[in-house]
Amino acid sequence: MEKMEGNDAFADLVFEYIWLCRSDAQTINLLNSPQFTPSLLVKFIYFGFGKQFLIGNFDSSRYFNEIKSLLNSEQSLRVLSEAESMEKDPTLKIHLLANLDPKTWEAYFDILDQNSMTLDALLGIFSNLRDNEIKKILLHSPTLYYYLQMMILSESVEVSGMGKEQKHDLKQILDAVHIWDQFCSKIKENYQLTLERGLSPRERDSSRISAILREIISVPEEEREDILAYLKGNGILLDEVEESTLSFLLKNYKEKGSFL
């Protein structure tokens, strides 16, 4: 690792191998190892970014979601707290924040407090992103949505100046996501998901999938994939079979105007 820190050419050779094997369990363990420093991780993330960009038809949100899946919460926190370049890339920072679990979120709040940072600093991360980009990130990250919702609604959290406008704008985005949070709660109340999880797809209550389909087709087509990700993250899609079934039915609806 020390040689990689001081030799960019050597680091790129290692990154090339890691990139090719990024889905392997051993590679993921390496990326989450304490020996893999935050500065090296950031370099690797930008290395992969460049590789994907050169391929063409590049979706940065999809790329950062893949990176998020490779890192655990503890490693994401290390990068957020120790990598100096984090302040220069709000998009990467938000995706890493979305990767924190409740324990590491509390640790991140402690770091903000120790550095005398307020909600203004956290809100400032979102100021350079468009509303649809923020909404997309939140739909793919239910935990981040819940924590931001909790902070925005807290009367004890004060903001000043531009922070008030940013807080208002973010609250509107959170309200749009909240509609789907309420829908998830309704599904959980009306269906026995724990019981259904133990059944085969054919044995489950098909009216749940029908209810989900009715809601999803009510939103613009470009948002549907993100909505599916949110529903999956909230546990109302029980497995990959249900996810692929919904994707198939939505594709038919787009092309034929009917599900079948």
pLDDT in tens, 175-193: 999 999 999 999 999 999 9
Interatomic CA distance for residues 126 and 86, integer angstroms: 13
Work out the number of other CB atoms within 10 angstroms of the CB of residue 152: 18
- Domain assignment of residue 229, given as a range: 192-260
Give burial (CB, 10 Å; 0-12/13-18/19+) of 52. middle
Contact of 31 with 70, CB cutoff 8 Å: yes
Cα–Cα distance measured from residue 247 to residue 227, given in angstroms and rounded to the nearest whole number: 11
Q: Is residue 244 part of a domain?
A: yes
Amino acid 211: pLDDT: 95
> Does residue 259 sit within a domain?
yes
Inside any domain, residue 256 = yes
Burial of 235 (C-beta count, 10 Å sphere; 0-12/13-18/19+): middle
> Is there a domain that residue 128 lies in?
no
For the chain, what is the total number of helices (H) and then of strands (E)?
16, 0
pTM assigned to the model: 0.77
Per-residue pLDDT, 214: 93
Cα(27)–Cα(205) distance, integer angstroms = 40
Residue 246, domain member (yes or no): yes
Quickly count: other Cβ atoms within 10 Å of residue 206's Cβ. Answer: 10
Distance of CA 162 to the CA centre of its chain: 26
- Indicate whether 64 belongs to any domain: no
Number of domains in the chain: 1
Q: Which residues of the chain have pLDDT under 50?
A: none
How long is the chain?
260
In a domain, 146, yes or no: no
- Token pair for 111: 């770091």
Give the Cα separation of 76 and 63 in Å (integer): 16
Specify if 207 maps to a domain: yes
The amino acid at 250: L
Instruction: Say if residues 200 and 159 touch (Cβ distance below 8 Å).
Output: no
Contact partners, residue 163, CB within 8 Å, separation at least 6 = 118, 119, 120, 123, 124
